[in-house]
Amino acid sequence: MFPTHFSGATWMCVASVLLFSCGSQPHLPAGSIQGLIPAPQSLQVGQGTYVCEGSLGLAWPEGWGQEAQVVQSWLSQAGIEASVNTAKPGLTFELDPSMEGLESYRMRVEPSGMRISSATHAGLFRGWITLRKTLPVACEIGCADGFELPCVSIEDAPILEHRGLLLDGCRHFQGVDFVLKQIDLLALHGMNVLHWHLTEDQGWRLDVPGLPKLREVAAWRTESDGSQHGGFYTVKEIQRVVDYAAARHIEVIPEIEMPGHSSAALAAYPELGCTGDSIGVPHRWGVFKDIYCAGNDDTFAFLEKVMDHVVSVFPGPRIHIGGDEAPKVRWSNCPKCQRRMKEEGLANEEELQRWFIGRMGDHLATKGKTIIGWDEILEGGLPEGAAVQSWRGMEGAKEAVHLGADVIVSPTSHCYLDYPLRSTDLEEAYQFEPLPDSLAHGPGRILGGEGNMWTEHAPQEMVESKVYPRLIALAEVFWRGHSHAGATGAYVDFLSRLDLHYLRLDALDVAYGLESPPFELSTSASSEGELVALIQAKGRGVMGRGQWTGNGSVLASGEPFVVNGPGRAEMEVGRRGTWTGTSASYALDGHSAVYRPLILEYEPSPWYTGGGREALVDGRLGSNDFRDGAWQARQGGEMVAEVDLGSELEVSAVETGVYLYQDAWIFMPKSVVWEGSVDGRDWRELASWSGSNVLAPNDHQERVAIQGVMGPALGPVRHVRMRVNGAGPCPDWHAAAGSDSWLFLDELVVRTKEAS
């Protein structure tokens, strides 16, 4: 049974019959070399076709056992009868020691058969994957009658030796089958590393014999609604994942975080923290003060026990030890940590972290393992022999290369797959340059790159929509390099191959997401001063429809509509002709100050402009995400804005939205005062709000807090001024005590009797 998208490939089959007349079977699905991702380094189309009529003889070199099983099992799932036939093979895998490179391969398809050559087993496997991607998409489901392939010659090798995905199994747990599927998908895209993030504040996922509280306590958290979330991988399950990956020449690098991001372990074993206090497994996100005590030898006994188990189940040469985002406040106040610093002659807590990681690195070295750490491990001195994963931009990569270290790059700018598309769309991922010239000449080395999938906001069922297609762009960049970078033509070419590749992903049930944000909202004022909004569907194959809740009117993407008063545009996303059920919602407010002349007495943060200098009167309100582009912000100080209504109006209400998220240093203001003036010189207070008592140490919630004041008669005025006084420095109880807090506003809303 073939899927309906098959007709295009059938046409190609007919075309090849016409061109080559070499005895093709018109009923057979035809493969294609058009949609290969990553694109091979060199590809030459040959003469004629290879025809497989439902059975295939195989030949492979001795020792190619697990991989051969993967090949055979794929063929058998496709319904093709595959058996060893060294005398007359249709598909030959051969070792060719004369070839160079650990994963380079050659693939030849000729009328007489298909042949993959490499100096290594890994290269043979990469070649097989390329061959699989040239086979008809239908074969992913079943092509029992056979297939035909155009003759082709491919020479290929990756630019970077380390090409991976970080999968965070901690913030949300994923089942083993899901992990195995991701390994298959990594292999499909020429990737060779699964960086498996297994320990975190919010959950410890690795069962370690002899440490039962890890699976009993550290693996589970209670969510704010009282439900339980968690899970862990048994020794057997870990082995299954590792073996499955190994058969596909994918290294699983476990990440065991230290000294920070360790709350779950400390919840299970509180004596390993500086205070010894019992803490629960947290259910909120962020960075936590409680970290392993560096002065307590029991910490190292625990971590060595964990690592001894880790090395027994993960055979790869490298272990990731985290090292990121470890606040030092507990260490500064801990007599044991301070004694350790004195004994070891360490000048500060950063050096204590280096000592901590160095000590664990030494232990792992005795087991023949090297360590990788996030770029924070450069602070206080890089431990001997450690590789660095640069995530806070490429600065860490630069420093580490200059120090002679091995480096993996995954900067937030291009490689964070958990980020929304408005931060990193497909094209931005594709334009990532993992090997800039400035880092190409050592003494250290860029080994490769990773796409990072953190899962705070992504339960398992959402992960694929975040990872794909952006990881596919990164996979091409990591494999092919950017020999043709910068040329937009390269991206256009990638997209045309991706369109074909999507058909394969459909056959494999990959729930890939969009390539870019589905809509673009713009607002303006009509000649009568009304707010006019326009929501346009953006991106290839994307369509939109929706409703304006203000009056229930139906919205078609691309048609402007007038907004009177507050309401929401609720939009639905369609892709390639199908409504997806994915929605987007925009809060708009056609109030009396929209697009009236505005004076700002402050400079908005360049990161949070809200869309520009008119953001406070653009009619667009902020959502529950302070990064949505609608919020305007400032760190420290006041925000004062003044609007000219154009004529004297009877003001009935003044409002603004305020964002509140104390964990992100975003606080309620101390006060908001609205003033009015008839002439712009004499001002009187219209209304005020005081929130001096709203700072709450245990408030971790993220939300919009609307401040509004209605009055029977606030006006008449022509000018309205809003003074918002920020909370000042973060209070003593806060993780960022003493640093300037942030103030976030979305709009200066003025309602008048005339408008209502």
Given the rule CB under 6 A, which residues bind ligand ACM?
Answer: 324-325, 374, 391
Q: Which amino acid is at 205?
A: R
Q: In this complex, which beta carbon is closest to ligand ACM, that of residue 171 or of residue 751?
A: 171
> Considering CB distances under 5 to 8 angstroms, the limit depending on partner class, which of Zn ion, ligand ACM, none binds residue 479?
none
Which helix (H) or strand (E) is 349 found in, with range?
A: helix 349-365
518 binds, options ligand ACM, Zn ion, none, Cβ within 5 to 8 A by partner type: none
3-state secondary structure of 4: helix
Residue whose token pair is 């009396």 = 592
Least distance CB 454 / ligand ACM (angstroms): 6
CB under 5 to 8 A by kind: which of Zn ion, ligand ACM, none does 138 bind? none
Q: How far is CA 208 from CA 59, 240, 268, in A?
A: 42, 16, 13
Query: Residue from 274, 372, 615, 617 that binds Zn ion (CB under 5 A)?
Result: 274
**Toward Zn ion, which CB reaches closer, 337 or 745?**
337
**Contact of residue 374 among ligand ACM, Zn ion, none (CB under 5-8 Å per partner type):** ligand ACM
The token pair that represents 148 in the structure block: 């035909």
CB of 736 to ligand ACM, least distance (A): 17
Contact set for Zn ion, span 95-124 (CB under 5 A) = none
Nearest partner of 365 among 306, 433, 318, 425, judged by Cα: 318
Residue 633 binding target from Zn ion, ligand ACM, none, CB below 5 to 8 Å by type: none
Contact between residue 755 and residue 654 where contact means Cβ atoms under 8 Å apart: no
Residue 654 binding result from Zn ion, ligand ACM, none, given CB thresholds of 5 to 8 Å by partner type: none
Nearest of 695, 676, 694, 697 to residue 685 by alpha carbon: 676
- How far from 706 is each of 437, 600, 656, 671, CA to CA, in Å? 50, 21, 6, 13
Peptide bond into 731 cis (omega under 30): no
Asked whether the beta carbons of 165 and 193 are under 8 A apart, the reply is: yes
CB-nearer residue toward ligand ACM: 320 or 620: 320
Smaller CB separation from Zn ion, 40 or 295:
295
Q: Would you list the DSSP string of 458-488?
A: --HHHHHHHHTTHHHHHHHHHHH-STTTT-H
In terms of CB distance, is 264 or 645 closer to ligand ACM? 264
- CB of residue 412 vs ligand ACM: minimum separation in angstroms? 7
Toward Zn ion, which CB reaches closer, 333 or 585? 333
Looking at the Cβ atoms of 415 and 435, the one nearer to ligand ACM is 415
Task: Kindly write out the interface string for residues 229-268 of this chain, putting x where it contacts Zn ion by CB under 5 A and - elsewhere.
Answer: ----------------------------------------
The nearer residue to Zn ion, 59 or 337, going by C-beta atoms, is 337
Shortest Å distance, C-beta 358 to ligand ACM: 20
Residue 463, amino acid: V
Which of ligand ACM, Zn ion, none lies near 514, with the C-beta cut-off 5 to 8 A by kind?
Answer: none
Smallest separation (angstroms) from ligand ACM to the CB of 328: 16
Radius of gyration of the chain (CA): 30
Partner whose binding site includes residue 337, from Zn ion, ligand ACM, none (CB under 5 to 8 Å by kind): Zn ion
CA separation (Å) from 83 to 90, 114, 133?
10, 15, 21
Look up residue 609 and give its DSSP letter: B
Choose among Zn ion, ligand ACM, none what residue 391 binds, the Cβ cut-off being 5 to 8 Å by kind: ligand ACM
Please say whether the beta carbons of 751 and 649 come within 8 A: no
3-state secondary structure 649-712: ECEEEEEEEEEEEHHHCECCCCEEEEEEECCCCCCEEEEEEECCCCCCCCCCCCEEEEEEEECC
**Shortest Cβ contact with ligand ACM: which residue?**
324
360 binds, among Zn ion, ligand ACM, none (CB under 5 to 8 A by kind): none
Q: Of 255, 355, 383, which Cα lies nearest the Cα of 295? A: 355
Binding mask 325-364 for Zn ion (x = CB under 5 A): ---------x-xx---------------------------
Chain centroid to Cα 629, Å, comes to: 19
Closest CB to ligand ACM among 286 and 404? 286
Binding mask 276-295 for Zn ion (x = CB under 5 A): -----------------x-x
Residue ranges binding Zn ion (CB under 5 A): 274, 293, 295, 334, 336-337
